[in-house]
Structure formats: structure tokens, C-alpha cells
Amino acid sequence: MLIPLDHRSPLPLYRQIQDFLSGEIRSGALPAHTRLPATRNLAQSLGVNRLTITTAYEGLAADGLVYGRQGSGTYVAPLSEAVTGPTAPVGASQDWPLWQQELLSHTWLPAQYELDRMSAALDRPDAISFAAGMGDSSLFPIDDFRRAVTDILRRDGRAALSYGERAGFAPLRATIARIVTERGIRALPQHILVTSGSQQGLSLVARLLLRPGDVALVESPTYAGAIDLFRSLDVRLAGVPVDAQGMQVDRLEALLTTHHPRLIYTMPTYQNPTGTCLSTARRRQLIDLAGRYNVPILEDEFAGDLHYEDAAPLPLAALDPGGRVIYMGTFSKMLMPGLRLGFLVAVGPVYERLLAAKRVDDLSSSSLIQRALEAYITVGRYQAHLRRACQLYGHRRDTMAEALRRYLPAGADWTTPAGGLFIWLRLPGGLTGQALAPVAAGEGVGFAPGELFFPGGRSQPYVRLNFAEHPPERIEEGVRRLGRAVVRCLSTGSGERQSGDVLHNEMPAI
Amino acid sequence: MLIPLDHRSPLPLYRQIQDFLSGEIRSGALPAHTRLPATRNLAQSLGVNRLTITTAYEGLAADGLVYGRQGSGTYVAPLSEAVTGPTAPVGASQDWPLWQQELLSHTWLPAQYELDRMSAALDRPDAISFAAGMGDSSLFPIDDFRRAVTDILRRDGRAALSYGERAGFAPLRATIARIVTERGIRALPQHILVTSGSQQGLSLVARLLLRPGDVALVESPTYAGAIDLFRSLDVRLAGVPVDAQGMQVDRLEALLTTHHPRLIYTMPTYQNPTGTCLSTARRRQLIDLAGRYNVPILEDEFAGDLHYEDAAPLPLAALDPGGRVIYMGTFSKMLMPGLRLGFLVAVGPVYERLLAAKRVDDLSSSSLIQRALEAYITVGRYQAHLRRACQLYGHRRDTMAEALRRYLPAGADWTTPAGGLFIWLRLPGGLTGQALAPVAAGEGVGFAPGELFFPGGRSQPYVRLNFAEHPPERIEEGVRRLGRAVVRCLSTGSGERQSGDVLHNEMPAI
């Protein structure tokens, strides 16, 4: 099949392919039940990534234009009214009800959409993206996991598809309790609440403790998904600046007095995006302040186990004299993001309230996935997986740091983190991540631009690079391209620049 | 193993067993790595339900006292500090931080906890509970589903465990669009948002459209999980009374003028708990009012496909002139609750906002379960499953109605619903569901007491009976017991009574 592609078009390739096929189907040139070329073949013949074809086909399926037969390919769907679009109400341009129009005037949409958009724009077969927030999923032993799922369904039958215990499958909570005990947290299974990913944990805590107009303290920069969540709840954010030792806790007291925050959200260990690790002295100081000012701490340890030098300091939850810290962990970074399983550890009355919040939010998390994970992940197996990941990712971190030294022009700056997934790169010459992105995409490399991570969202001379996801040769090649893009931006003077010496930007409450 | 059980104790049997074993383990009488009796054997030797033993063992596991080896039984865990309880901070009685103590003073806990408590109290091997909110899970072809899961993991590998499309797996959305088209709703896949059960759908809509202090209109009575959710958001509820034709829409305008609600939440088809079905005339009137007063409607059609007479009238979403109705559906009732998959159908700007709300709440729903469901559930297979369920449940509905006529004393009143899962029984002599429950539990039968479904939570002379879950002989026996419990309550004059002729209680805004 010959599909004309314009590689210089701003329209991503997958979209060009999708639009072309969509036209052929709607015009009748491709009649119903025609089999489309296999993705692999079409990708080869067009010289594009196979994922590009898959994405195009998925788009066609979402429009009802094609259907898939498992294991036997993709076929053109019959042209029904549902496919060509009903006359009304759906799809017609019209006056929406006033309450819907009012929603439009809330201009808020997740900052993370920018990442999705950039990923879609990075559309060439050999593209390398350092934008992701996870580890290398190819480490995950999918065959073992498949066996675990099959065994569970055979062993537990329908019980695996019933509502389970509301707090989470008890044996899994027992396993999690043992895992966090390894991090020094004295937790029993009844202090564990299994959540649908740590994003839900964050959402439950925020909704329980915060009301519109309340202030939350966050590191500046911080996790983009947290900024999005807090904004969706009309919570105002005050940023605490970060330096090489993590959150600048000595600036916390002034913010506590000024803003009377109702929550401190922090990633003390291998912080996202800066990779910094809060020192033990600061950890103690933070807990002390939270106690004195009566502010709960949500500790997000999304990658506390991923260390490439000495183990990280004890988490805040391990230093907590009692009930000040809610601890949050996840299996997404270590194992697979699509498991959608995370957990909260909480002691005191707040536990019961979080459980109630979970109940009204989604009743309970998937019993099947919980049981399968529990069957798969004995503590020993988790520790073995961890050791392997640490060894591999540590090597990749070094590869990336070395490549940055080699390929980035003078003025670029970064600190090699002791753990986690990210290098936080300061661009030279005040170049911003946003200005660099399109040029970098042209070179075939992607990253997460710094502005996503600041509560105010202003242009920032930073980008976040994931060093854990790709093998060394891809890291090397990706950084080479990145260096080329930076040099090109600087030499042409293209792109917006950030004047002067903005460090980790301090955010006022917004 | 001999475990002393007191069948007259208020402590449930599973708890007596758990406490006994816990004592034996903590005292060292049962040393580490001892294998506990198989649940089946212990259940037989104690003359209790096997589930009682499973529950007791799960409790022990949650306390860290036992561990399970897959396929080879349950063993006593070594007594470590984590098991006997660390000295501090966990488990010690202590002064919690002030913010935690303040949480305690919010007395709100989900009303549905009452159901959990009652289910736990209904602890004898032959107990029959009509309390559940779902159909008969034994209809679900678990082996077919297991094959689908295994095939998906083999075919898609790690892709099945990655973050998928945020709106949901595209082919699944295409299937859902076809399913709702069968109900008369003109939806395309891009109007479908896959959620983690319909509870999450409800939660997303409520959080997007409501702020603390806002008023939502609900049927009175309504779904207990919705009451819990709205209360957790500090949303005030105004109840619209229900009669045999569903919500009394002619009383709606007064409530709209008085309360200026920001949402109407309704189950027009086979309403939970009353089983009533809103007439087409009222449906049109409702949509018209919602348009004139600019109030969004959330239509929860949790069992619209389960009809035992003529098909239900068209859903509100099918009558919507454009963007007034958000439609919500689920696979929990038809297939398995533990799938945790539901969906929203929305047109207009609200769709994008709901997608953003989903993003900040839990990023996306399990890719694996979505793919497996899509592979399993072709439209044809869904319709076949549906026909089977309708035939079976219709028969069970008749069995229950017949048994109610036979076993309930005069004064009991109910209407046989044309579809859905529930019969809403008005108890005779002003007897309340709460007063009846312990006596009924003594007879070995359970139900959902009426007060759970009223926003105000006051005692009500109603109970909700699920007729779909159990086979006819169990229904017959359960209703016989229920009749005996009612007669006993009335003859001893035991239990609180509701005076006079309260019908579907009208709730003021609270």
C-alpha cells in the first residue's frame, strides 16, 4: 500500500497515515472487511516505526472505521451510521448547555498533556525519548507474571474477580509490609492501603486533607502529576526551593507561617525531577517542623529502592515519632506501570479515613491483579529484581553522565544523582526546555521540559532526562542528538531564552 | 484441630476462630512454619462455612501471623518484632497529631460499612444474604476469560502492562460504543471514557461538577455509594421522592428553584433500590427541566439491559438534544464486579474535562483487564450472555415475588420490578430494616436495610432484596426465613417501629 508521507509536515506521521486510510475507507475505496496490511509490513514499506502504524490503526479503530480479529489482523468495518457519524446530537457543531460552556472557561488542562503532545510529535522510527517517568519494562519477567495470572484464575476462579478486601488483598498487604520494613518503616499489614497506582494514593490524600483554596507546600520543582492534581482541586501551591541536598528545609518555617499550608507533599529520596536526596539532618528538621506546625506530610518514595551508591537515608516515615507522615509507594517504577498498583502506609485515625475515601472513589482495586502480583512477588524475588535493576540503571546513569560531558556544550550543568531515574539538566545560555523541544524532536530526541515541574509553569532552562529506560547505546546516541540540538539552538539564537541565573525557581503561592 | 465456638456470641464465628489461633500462635503453642489445617477440613470438622475459615486465615495473614504458600496451604509465620508489634510508633496508644484528631471529629464514615458489618455478622454455614448489589457471578464463563487473559499476555506481552490510552483501550471503547448503541445512544468511541468501575465514573463527575456546599438532587431513596461519595465531598443532597413510575419529576421544579442544584444524579431504569422504571413521559420532562435550569444530569444505568418484560424505555442519553446528559454504565453487574471496569459516555467539552479528571485521579485503568475484556466480549457474546441472564433472573424475580406472597405476613408490600436486581420491600407494622436485621441474622438471612439508601439515614420500614444472585431454592428458603423473622419481630413487639404511613421518605437538603 502506497501512502504519501510528508516528513516535514507538522502533522505526525501516524496521523498522516490514519487520515489517508480514513479517507479511503469513507470514500469506499477500501470496502468493508478488506484486510489492512500487517503493521510490520506496512511499517517496513513506508520506512516508519511499527508503533506509528499501530497508533494509526488504533485511531481508525477508535473512529469505528476498522476492527481487529484477534491474531488475524485489522479489517475495514462496514460503513454504518455509527461510523459515518450520526446527524445529531453527536459530532454536530452546536451550542452546548451553558454549564458545559462554563467548563470551557476553566482553562485548566493537565500540564502532562504537553508531554503526550511532544511524544506524539517525536514521530520517526529511530526516535529516542528520555521523557518517560518509569524504568525499563523489558526487565519485567512477563512470562513468569503470565503464569502467575493463569494460576490465580485457575486456583481462585471467580474469587479473583470479586470485590476483594477493601484495603487490599491481605497477603499482598503482608508482602508490602515486609518490603517497607526493609526500608526501615515499621508497618503491619493493617497500616497498608493498596491503591490503583500511587497517583490514586496522592489523590486520596489530597481529597481527604485539602479543600478548595487551601495551600499545599511542594518542592519547586515537583512531580507534574501532583501539580495537575492539586490544580484540579483548586488547591493553591507554595513552592519550597530545592538545592543539591533536596528541599531547602531552612526556608520552610517562613512558608509555614505565611501560608498555613494543610499538607506538605515531598519526595525526599531521589526527587522527581531533580534527582536530589534530602539529607538526614533535613529529614529530621522537616518532621520536627511538621509536628510543631501541625501539618501532615505526604512522603512519595516512588524510587527509594533504586540506589546506585549507598542506600538512601531512612524515609521520613521511619523517623516519624507517630502519625505525622503518610508514606506512598508504587510498583509502577520497579515493575510495570500498567499494573496500576501502589500503596499508602498510614498510622492513626487517618488510615480509616483514607480507606473510606478509597471506598467512595472506586470501591476497591482489581482483585485479579493484586492476587497475581502477590503470587509473583515474594520478597526474595522482589529483592533480586531490585538488585538487577540497580546494577543496570547505575551503569546507565554513568553512561548518560559521561555522554552529557562529551556532547553538551559548555555551560550545561547537572548533578549526577545517587539513585532514582532522572538527571535534571540545566541548559546553557538560558535556553529553555520549551524552545529546545522542537529542534530536539527534529534531531530525533525527546525529554520532559522543565516548565512542567514548576507550579507556575513558566519557561525554565531545564530538562528532565530519564536514564533508566534505554540501553547504553541508545542513551549515548540520544545525548549526542541532544547536544547537537542544543548547539544548533545556541548558534542560530533560535528559541526563547531565560535571562540570567534563575536557579530552582522559587514559586509564590498561586 | 479443636476450636471452641460459641454460636450465641455476638462475636462472629470467623473472629472467634481467628482470635483463638492468634492466641495459640502468639503464645508459641503453634510454632513457626506449622501448617494450619486446610480450610475445607477445618470447616468440616467445626461445622462452619468454608468461607468462615478463609476469612479467619486472611485476618491472621493481615496481622502477619501466618503466610500462604501458593497451592500448599497456610503456615504459621515466625514471631518477629513486626509480628508481635513494634514498641513504637505503630500500635502503641498515643496522642496523634492534632490534624489526625480533627479527622476523628468528622464523624462521617461510609453508610455502606453497615452492610459490611451485617454481612460479617451473618455467619453461619447455611446463611443466605440478599444484600448484594450484583448478579450471579457463577454465570460468568471464567474459563473463557482466563484463556482471554493468557492470550493477551502472550500476544501483547509488556504492552498489556504499560500505560494504555488515557481514555481507555480503543478497541474496547469501540465495543462499548456498539453496546450502548443497542440501547439507542448514538455514541462513537471518542465519547467513551473507560473508568475503574462505575463508582469511579460517579466520583469523576461529582468532583468535576461539584464543590463543597453545592447541592445535588438525587432520588430518595438512592444508591448508598452515591450518598457516601457526595457526603465525602461535603456536597449537600436534596431528595426527590420516588413512586411506582420512578422519580416524581413534577416535584422537581420546586426543588430546582429552591436549591439551585449543580447536578441531578438519577437511575431512571430499574432504580436502585426501588426497582422502579421512569416512564418515557417523565424522562422527556426531566431532560426538559434540566435544560431549562441548566443542570447537568448524570444517568446511572447500572442494569438497563436486565429486563424481564418489555425492554426499558430509551435512556435519557438517547433523548438528550445535546450535551445535557452524562451516561454511566458498568460491566460489574452483568459480568464480574472484580473486573472494576465501567464507562462514561459524554459529548461536548465535558468529555475532555472528565478525561483530565481521570488522569489526575489514577492516570489510567488497568490495560491488561481492558484488553482481556475486549478480547472476551464481542458484542454477540455480550448479547448472548445478556439473554441468558435475563431469562434466569426473570425466573428468580418471580420466585422471590411468589415466596414473598407465601411467607410474608399481611401488611408487607412491594412492587414486582420489570427489570434490574432488586425488590424493595415495605415491612409491615412499621417495622424498620435496622430492627429486623439482627433477628433475621439469627434466622440466617440477610438484606440491605432501607435506611442506607436515604440521604438522611433515618430508620425506614424498608429492606432491599437482591433476587438475582441466588438460585430459586435458596431464594425460597431465604424468604421463608425472612418471613419467620418478620413474624417474630411483630409478635414480640421487639425492635424500633416507624409510626404510620411513611412512604418513600422525602429528604430535605441536608
Residues A377-425 have pLDDT tens digits of: 876 788 888 899 999 999 999 999 999 999 999 999 999 999 999 999 9
Cα–Cα distance measured from residue A70 to residue A79, given in angstroms and rounded to the nearest whole number: 21
The reported pLDDT for the residue numbered B31 is 76
The reported pLDDT for the residue numbered A508 is 38
In A, minimum Cα distance to B204 occurs at A361
Only one residue has cell 520543582, namely A221
* A419: DSSP letter: B
Q: Do A234 and B211 touch (CB under 8 A)?
A: yes
**Total residue length of chain B:** 510
B-chain residues within 8 Å CB-CB of A165? 58, 62
Low-confidence ranges of chain B (pLDDT < 50): 81-93, 498-510
Whether the Cβ atoms of residue A336 and residue B161 lie closer than 8 Å to each other: yes
DSSP-derived pairing of the beta strands B448-449 and A66-69: unpaired
B-chain residues within 8 Å CB-CB of A110? 356, 359-360
Largest CA distance in chain A: 72
Interface of B with A in 141-180 (CB under 8 A): 142, 145-146, 149-151, 153-155, 157-158, 160-166, 170-171, 173-174, 177-178
Only one residue has cell 434466622, namely B443
Does the pLDDT value for residue A227 go beyond 80? yes
Could you give the percent of chain A with pLDDT greater than 70? 91
Q: Do A360 and B199 touch (CB under 8 A)?
A: yes
Interface contacts (A, B; CB < 8 Å): 337
Cα–Cα distance measured from residue B175 to residue B331, given in angstroms and rounded to the nearest whole number: 12
Whether the Cβ atoms of residue A184 and residue A305 lie closer than 8 Å to each other: no
Other CB atoms within 10 A of residue A140 CB: 21
B-chain residues within 8 Å CB-CB of A338? 160-164, 366-368
The cell for A65 is: 472505521
A-chain residues within 8 Å CB-CB of B165? 58, 62
What is the average pLDDT across A158-171?
Answer: 87
Q: Do B170 and A212 touch (CB under 8 A)?
A: no
Q: State the first-to-last Cα distance of chain A, in angstroms, to the nearest integer.
A: 53
What DSSP string runs through B60-85? HHHTTSEEEETTTEEEEPP--HHHH-
The pLDDT confidence band at residue A113, using thresholds 50, 70 and 90, is: confident
Helix axes B50-62, B39-46, angle to 10 degrees: 120
B-chain residues within 8 Å CB-CB of A94? 322-323
Nearest to A211 among B100, B116, B212 (CB): B212
Reported ipTM exceeds the 0.85 cut:
no
Cα–Cα distance measured from residue A406 to residue A208, given in angstroms and rounded to the nearest whole number: 48
Does the pLDDT value for residue A247 go beyond 60? yes
In A, minimum Cα distance to B180 occurs at A82
Residue among B359, B365, B381 with most chain A CBs within 10 A, to mutate: B359
Q: Do B97 and A138 touch (CB under 8 A)?
A: no
Q: State the first-to-last Cα distance of chain B, in angstroms, to the nearest integer.
A: 53
Does the pLDDT value for residue A249 go beyond 50? yes
Residue among B154, B169, B340 with most chain A CBs within 10 A, to mutate: B340
Whether the Cβ atoms of residue A385 and residue A351 lie closer than 8 Å to each other: no
DSSP-derived pairing of the beta strands B192-195 and A66-69: unpaired
Bridge partners, A413 (sequence order):
A426
Q: Which residue type does B437 have?
A: A
Other CB atoms within 10 A of residue B428 CB: 17
Cα–Cα distance measured from residue B411 to residue B496, given in angstroms and rounded to the nearest whole number: 17
* A41: DSSP letter: H
Cα–Cα distance measured from residue A435 to residue A463, given in angstroms and rounded to the nearest whole number: 11
- Reported in sequence order, the residue ranges of B94-171 that DSSP labels E, i.e. its strands, are 128-129
pTM for the complete prediction?
0.79
R_g of chain B computed on alpha carbons: 24
The cell for B339 is: 473486573
Distance from CA of A318 to the nearest CA of B (A): 9
The cell for A28 is: 469506499
Q: Do A366 and B100 touch (CB under 8 A)?
A: no
Q: Which residue type does B8 have?
A: R
Peptide bond into B273 cis (omega under 30): yes
Identify which has the larger pLDDT, B392 or A339: B392
Nearest to A161 among B165, B232, B339 (CB): B339
Q: How buried is residue A71: exposed, middle or buried, by Cβ count under 10 Å (0-12/13-18/19+)?
A: exposed
Identify which has the larger pLDDT, B424 or A61: B424
The cell for A457 is: 509553569
Nearest to A323 among B67, B97, B365 (CB): B97
Cα–Cα distance measured from residue A332 to residue A223, given in angstroms and rounded to the nearest whole number: 15
The cell for A36 is: 489492512
Instruction: Out of A86-100, A340-354, B146-160, B496-510, pick the least confident.
Output: B496-510
Cα–Cα distance measured from residue A324 to residue A327, given in angstroms and rounded to the nearest whole number: 10
Cα–Cα distance measured from residue B97 to residue A323, given in angstroms and rounded to the nearest whole number: 6
Kind plus residue range of the DSSP H or E element containing B263: strand B263-266
Cα–Cα distance measured from residue B324 to residue B302, given in angstroms and rounded to the nearest whole number: 19
B-chain residues within 8 Å CB-CB of A75? none
Nearest to A203 among B166, B181, B361 (CB): B361
In B, minimum Cα distance to A147 occurs at B150
- Helical residues (DSSP H) of A89-141, grouped into ranges: 98-105, 112-121
The cell for B143 is: 474459563
Q: For residue B135, give every residue at least 6 positions away whose Cβ sits within 8 Å of its Cβ, in sequence order, or none.
A: B306, B333, B334, B389, B393, B421, B468, B469
Kind plus residue range of the DSSP H or E element containing A194: strand A192-195
Mean pLDDT score across all residues of chain A: 87
Interface of A with B in 268-327 (CB under 8 A): 291, 294-296, 320-324
Distance from CA of B363 to the nearest CA of A (A): 7
Cα–Cα distance measured from residue A445 to residue A413, given in angstroms and rounded to the nearest whole number: 19
Query: Is A347 in CB contact (< 8 Å) with chain B?
Result: yes
A-chain residues within 8 Å CB-CB of B87? none
Q: What is the pLDDT of residues A120-141, one digit of tens each?
A: 888 888 999 999 998 998 888 8
Q: How buried is residue A98: exposed, middle or buried, by Cβ count under 10 Å (0-12/13-18/19+)?
A: exposed
Identify which has the larger pLDDT, B130 or A79: B130
Distance from CA of A91 to the nearest CA of B (A): 8
Cα separations in angstroms, A1 against A51, A72, A94, A180: 17, 18, 38, 54
Q: For residue B288, give every residue at least 6 positions away whose Cβ sits within 8 Å of its Cβ, in sequence order, or none.
A: none
Query: Is A353 in CB contact (< 8 Å) with chain B?
Result: yes
